[in-house]
Amino acid sequence: MSATTPSLTAIPFGGLGEFGMNMLALRYGEHILVIDAGMMFPESELLGVDLVIPDISYLKQNRSSVRAIVLTHGHEDHIGALPYILRDLNVPIYGTRFTLALVKKRLEEAALLDKVTLREVLPGRRIEIGPYEIEFIGVTHSTIDCVALAVRTPLGVILHTGDFKIDHTPVDGAAFDVHAFARCGNEGVLALFSDSTNVERPGFTPTERAVVPRIEELCRTAPRKVVLSCFASSIHRIQQVIEIAQRVGRKVAFVGRSMVDNVEIAHDLECLRIPDGMVVRPQDIRSFDPKRLVVIASGSQAEPMSSLSRIAVDNHRWVTVEENDTVILSARIIPGNEKAIFRMLDHMFRRRALVYYENSGGIIHVSGHASQEEQKLILQLVRPRYFIPIHGEYRHLFRHAALAHQLGVVPGEILLIEDGQPIEFTAEGAYRREPLPAGRVLVDSGSLEEIEEFVIRDRQHLSEDGVVVPIIAIDKHTGKIESLPEIVTRGFLSDNGQELVSGARDVVIRTVEQSNSEEKTDWSVIKEKIRVDLKRYINKQTSKRPLILPVILEV
């Protein structure tokens, strides 16, 4: 291969092997283009972590080559890492109008808005960034203003579907651009990166409009007020609920910060039509006739402090659920959230509300992701030389690869890869390269700081075995212990722990007395010695390993 034709490398940093954290980079020579920058919510074992973002150490090392971040749509699992990443990689961000409006809100909260360049793009248009020509292809999904990307590179077209389903009757009339996919297919696509989320579902994903009959019926027959919860980004769903409310003679109220923010953003951009006089202010909900009201609330996943969770346990400022109120959960129960959601719904049942959620008769939620038949259609339209399934856990990627294999429309090969596995495309073919660092960075949203692995280990440790704090008063001149050490324990001992505590005191006294005078005056040395000896003693007595934090008071 001659040195004049650089290769093209695709590097996934997130979203291949998990749901969320979607991020893919393309590198041609010294030009890196990043597609999406998502976050994901932590699993329960990541104690006290607020969110998880991709590890971008490779991009930081190659900071001078990163040209831009291009966004497919505005869901958190595609834009949520931006406030954290942009501190290290301040590059222009390209996205559609609604997507950028959501990004603006995030950057404003992180006090980064003035420092970042945002560039708006339109579906159907093309832009150039370095050696890449990027075409934005309109697709349908569960939020608005979503695009797939056709990235034309010197080695061929890379097609990235973003999140999509094929909705032939979209609520806003902005259709899925099937023709653009077919056109790319005819032009020849080097590699297709396609959304695998719903590969386990046969058939087609129903249109967004499929929820209307059942939700309208529930709103029409509801004896009192209706509380409906959906994702705050589901602008189409919100639009339909507003229209249903109008038809059945009800008004709407919006509660929940994310819901109010997104409704305002979408309304300002004229993506959401709300007839005059339709909206009831949250503070007027209590006094408004419940037979004429639909409350649209965020918190469908039972997030701990969300509106719906607070309504369920009756500590929301404006909304209470009473007997014969109707509660509709118009959202998918995301795997991992089942316990919390059903606990929240149990509270609603206890209040004798009429509760409707997935599988309780009629369609009250449809997915925003393509099922098998749509995935097959994309593969047949595009007929890529290489196919790389993205967005999903390993089994989803595997099943999507199997689907492509059955169809036999991929002339080259199907590449099943995970985060950090680069694929290099050359004139000769596609090759897997040495894995790059990729993984998770844990973030505590209060501080915006990354949380190191050992912090999580300490938290697990604390949650399992508790903490022991020996407090020792030492005379700093003589190095003698002035009074009996005090041993404070939390989450570790039951009542019969007196013997253990007095034994622990003896261990501490012995450790200090057996130390030489230099050790005694170096607090960090003596603390470590106490920690080691106490750990050995407690482990021997109880086979537990609490976190031990010695405190030394100078007297």
| pLDDT at residue 3, rounded to an integer | 52
* 291 and 224 Cβ atoms separated by less than 8 Å: yes
DSSP letter, residue 392: B
| pLDDT at residue 495, rounded to an integer | 54
Q: Which residue has the tokens 């118009």?
A: 330
The whole-angstrom separation of Cα 157 and Cα 356 is 45
* 403 and 372 Cβ atoms separated by less than 8 Å: yes
Neighbours of 203 (CB within 10 A): 9
The whole-angstrom separation of Cα 342 and Cα 475 is 57
CA distances from 187 to 7, 77, 129, 152, 449 (A): 20, 31, 21, 11, 46
The whole-angstrom separation of Cα 356 and Cα 346 is 12
* 448 and 530 Cβ atoms separated by less than 8 Å: no
Assigned token pair, 526: 């003596």
Which residues does residue 69 pair with via DSSP β-bridges, in sequence order? 34, 93
Assigned token pair, 294: 């639909």
* 294 and 225 Cβ atoms separated by less than 8 Å: yes
Backbone angles phi, psi at 509, to 5 degrees: -60, -45
pLDDT per residue rounded down to tens, the chain (555 residues)? 445 668 999 999 999 998 889 999 999 999 999 999 999 877 666 556 678 899 999 999 999 999 999 999 999 999 999 999 998 899 999 999 999 999 999 999 889 999 999 999 999 999 999 999 999 999 999 999 999 999 999 999 999 999 999 999 999 999 999 999 999 999 999 999 999 999 999 999 999 999 999 999 999 999 999 999 999 999 999 999 999 999 999 999 999 999 999 999 999 999 999 999 999 999 999 999 999 999 999 999 988 788 999 999 998 999 999 999 999 999 988 877 888 899 999 999 999 999 999 877 789 999 999 999 999 999 999 999 999 999 999 999 999 999 999 999 888 899 999 999 999 999 999 999 999 988 888 776 555 556 666 666 676 767 777 888 888 888 877 778 888 888 888 777 665 577 888 888 888 888 888 888 777 777 777 888 888 888 888 888 887 778 888 888 877
| 3-state per-residue secondary structure call for 484-524 | CCEEEEECCCCHHHHHHHHHHHHHHHHHHHCCCHHHHHCHH
Q: Which amino acid is at 242?
A: I
| pLDDT at residue 2, rounded to an integer | 45
**Domains of the chain, first to last:** 8-203+367-451 (3.60.15.10), 209-354 (3.40.50.10710), 453-554 (3.10.20.580)
- Candidates 3, 9, 13; CA nearest to 155 is 9
* 142 and 162 Cβ atoms separated by less than 8 Å: no
Backbone angles phi, psi at 18, to 5 degrees: -155, 165
Q: What is the torsion angle, in degrees rounded to the nearest 10, for the CA atoms of residue 361, residue 363, residue 364 and residue 365?
A: 130
Backbone angles phi, psi at 148, to 5 degrees: -95, 165
Q: Where are the alpha helices (DSSP H) in 26-121?
A: 57-61, 76-79, 82-85, 97-109
| pLDDT at residue 360, rounded to an integer | 75
The whole-angstrom separation of Cα 350 and Cα 442 is 37
Q: Where are the alpha helices (DSSP H) in 39-79?
A: 57-61, 76-79
Q: What is the separation, in whole angstroms, between the first and last Cα of the chain?
A: 75
The whole-angstrom separation of Cα 264 and Cα 272 is 9
The whole-angstrom separation of Cα 473 and Cα 481 is 6
Q: Which residue has the tokens 């409009």?
A: 209
Cβ neighbours for 223, distance < 8 A, ≥ 6 positions apart: 291, 324, 326, 354
Assigned token pair, 345: 């719904």
The whole-angstrom separation of Cα 215 and Cα 468 is 55
Per DSSP bridges, beta strands 386-390 and 189-195 are: parallel
Neighbours of 444 (CB within 10 A): 14
Q: Where are the alpha helices (DSSP H) in 62-211?
A: 76-79, 82-85, 97-109, 178-187
Angle at 487 between CA 481 and CA 490, to 5 degrees: 155
The whole-angstrom separation of Cα 187 and Cα 368 is 28
Model pTM above 0.85: no
The whole-angstrom separation of Cα 128 and Cα 71 is 15
